[in-house]
Amino acid sequence: MGCGCLGCGGGTLLVLALLGALAWFFVIQPARAFLDSWRGPAQTQTQTGNGANIPSPNLPGNGGTTSPAPTGTVDRPVTPADVQRFVRVRREVRNAFGGSLTGLERVWADIQNGQSPNLLTVLNVLREAGGSIGRARQAQTVALAGQGLSPERYAVIRSTVNRALGVPNIDFTRAAEALQQGRLPDLNTAVQTATPEERALVEPFRAELTQTAALGLLGL
């Protein structure tokens, strides 16, 4: 039996090269483009009181705006005033996203219905949100400065809000990082149980926050 003009080994190498090219164009490149837009300048990691590392914004906004430095104990209990400030920031982020949040909202609806996202879903979200994530991050930074919130404190409040709304731990930004590094992302949709106090804090704003809950899947 012959192996063709390339030989058996050459055919295998050609297949591997094609697979590598497909992975680059359809998996790694969309993830990289999303992360480049997300980072703007640098991304930092914030650890919340429950021990979860959550990406937090560290962007200078337009005109040199910077987020306030953390003061006091970052993971101190969340107050009603904190939630009110969070709501105001979320409004600005949602406005910056515009219609490009549609796909992410569909994913959020699927998760609520018990469906876990797959790799194709992740890639579609990264492509759709990639053009808007940078604007959303800039809007978030400006809003944080306006509300006197540090990125670290905002991450703690967001973690509380996510639990109260039933938003799972899945983070599409981390998924993009994994794909860029050639690893399969963690698509676990487990939801941490909120305390009665956390649910009570969010209740006055539940209707509005539910409309923007999908942003929690991007760590925003």
Structure-block tokens of residue 203: 């209740």
Name the 3-class secondary structure at 205. Answer: helix
Structure-block tokens of residue 104: 């992410």
Name the 3-class secondary structure at 47. Answer: strand
Nearest 10 degrees: Cα torsion 66, 67, 68, 69? -100
Nearest 10 degrees: Cα torsion 157, 161, 166, 169? -20
Pairing of strands 53-57, 43-47: antiparallel
Residue 102, pLDDT score: 77
Global pTM? Answer: 0.71
Structure-block tokens of residue 201: 């804090």
Structure-block tokens of residue 206: 């539940």
Gap between the Cα atoms of 207 and 84, Å rounded: 13
Residue 2 gets which letter from DSSP?
-
pLDDT tens, per residue, the chain with 220 residues: 555 555 555 555 544 444 444 444 445 666 676 677 767 644 444 434 443 444 444 433 344 456 566 566 888 999 999 999 999 999 999 998 877 677 888 888 888 888 888 877 888 888 777 778 888 889 999 999 999 999 999 999 999 999 999 998 788 888 888 877 777 777 777 788 999 999 999 999 999 999 999 898 888 8
Residue 184, pLDDT score: 77
- Helix ranges restricted to H, 5-150: 7-23, 29-39, 80-97, 102-112, 119-130, 133-147
Residue 186, pLDDT score: 77
